[in-house]
Amino acid sequence: MAPLSRDNVQSLLLGSSLHPITRHLLFQVKKKDGGRQFLSDLLPSVSKGDPAALGAAPLLNISLSWNGLLALGAFDTMGDEAAAASAFYLFNEPPLSESLRASGASTPANWWKKRFLSTDIHVIVHLSVSSEDDLRDVTTRVRTAAERADLLELLTSAEGEPITGRAVNGFRLHFGYRDGISHPSVDWDNDIPTGGALPRGDFVLGYPSPHYSSYPDKPPFSDFVRDGSFMAFMMLYQDVAAFNRFLRENAPKVAPTLPQADAEEYLAAKMMGRWRDGSPLMLSPERPDGTAALRDDFDYTDDPQGIKCPLAAHIRVANARHQPLNDVNKTLFPGGYPRLLRRGMPYGPLLDGEQDDGVDRGLVGMFLCANLNKQFYTIMRWLGRTDFSPVFPDQVGQDPLTGNSSFPGASSDFSIPSQNGTSTTVKRVTDFVRIEGVAIQLLPSLTTLRNVAAFG
């Protein structure tokens, strides 16, 4: 096939923005014509192509849910709703709570501050800007278009503040880890990738992939989604106070010969698989190494017992690279571990110390893929229960950072092996991350947005 048409692909798909501020405005379409007018008004501002080439200008992207497509009449010229529903596997369903391990405080009944449901979200406008002035101006422009089109804005706060992220401490998460290091390399222009890159069909709909089937896979709906991508939009609360307490209480047990502060950094690194400056434990197991902070060229071949990087460390569960899968998953994933494209930004103010201030803070994450089940939902299942590979001695363990201790049958124990053959096990008493909301979206091509806006 021909190279990917950058002019037809929204910028959010092709790369992460370096802008320090993001905002996500959630809307419900009340009238079909109004929703189409809203898209028409915003279309000239939709950002396309590689965000790195777009400079400091504000970026604007638009995603649509299944219910949003129905409310916009997107399938009016392509047959009835039943035909579309049979083609859009999983996209036409509410988020799968069991696959998300969304139990306890993370149950869907608690999402979006109980102010609305995921199925109420029809359109999300994603902004990425360089300054507060740009944020105010673009937000005003979007809200003016929404008011003119009679859209209902869905807000998670009573104060009317949209979901807004701001870079902290050089793009670090609230837990202190450097973010945005590990991203899949994608060959956007060839069906058969070169240089060890992943095929574009793993992430862009309408292109072949040797790893996954993508849905819909037949016209007219396959033409409709071409050059788009499925997105899981997630709002994740991070309990910084509980995390800091956990480090203080457990660090002396894990690293008894180190001073308290160094022992806490050591435990934090073991949980993530990287030091908080980004240095991977596989390349620098004993201390941070600033020269390796952005390196991603490693695997776990020479660390089968998890001495350098514990087997259940976050990065080793999320992408175990060349480690084996069990027999069932080897059949399902002949190309190895599934990957996602991740975009995101922390939201909420920084917190130091162990006293919770009651303020909401966490991460807005956008996870892009061509197959929701085999990519997004599979990774979420594996983060919540490590039964997908024989390398894990605890087949019901969890990722120590994002695990949900209330999920039935899972263990919140985290084992840290040592050189002398012994292991230290720490238990996560409090969950550090809570799901605040999930919306399954389509990030359409520019062609699809124009077509939906022009229907009728």
Q: What is the DSSP letter of 127?
A: E
CA distance 108 to 119: 11
In this structure, are residues 300 and 312 in contact, taking their beta carbons and an 8 Å threshold? no
CA distance 398 to 58: 38
CA distance 429 to 347: 24
Q: Is the pTM of this model over 0.85?
A: yes
Judge if the upstream peptide bond of residue 285 is cis by omega within 30 degrees of 0. no
Q: Residue 455 has what pLDDT? A: 60
The mean pLDDT of 255-280, rounded to a whole number, is 97
With H, G, I as helix, E, B as strand and everything else as coil, classify residue 270: helix
In this structure, are residues 369 and 229 in contact, taking their beta carbons and an 8 Å threshold? yes
pLDDT 10s digits, 408-436: 888 999 999 988 888 999 999 899 999 99
The encoded tokens of residue 23 equal 């905002």
pLDDT 10s digits, 193-240: 988 899 999 999 999 999 999 999 999 999 999 999 999 999 999 999
In this structure, are residues 229 and 204 in contact, taking their beta carbons and an 8 Å threshold? yes
pLDDT 10s digits, 77-88: 888 788 898 999
> How many Cα neighbours within 13 Å face the side chain of 376?
29
Judge if the upstream peptide bond of residue 58 is cis by omega within 30 degrees of 0. no
pLDDT 10s digits, 371-414: 999 999 999 999 999 999 999 888 888 999 999 999 988 899 99
Q: Which backbone phi and psi does 59 adopt, to 5 degrees?
A: -110, 140
CA distance 282 to 301: 10
pLDDT beyond 80 at 353: yes
The mean-pLDDT minimum among 8-12, 158-162, 283-287 falls in: 158-162
pLDDT beyond 80 at 456: no
Q: Are strands 198-199 and 186-187 parallel, antiparallel or unpaired?
A: parallel
pLDDT beyond 90 at 31: yes
CA distance 312 to 287: 20
Q: How far is CA 312 from the centre of its chain?
A: 19
pLDDT beyond 80 at 255: yes
Q: Tell the burial category of 208 from Cβ atoms under 10 Å away from its Cβ (0-12, 13-18, 19+).
A: middle
CA distance 449 to 456: 14
CA distance 124 to 26: 5
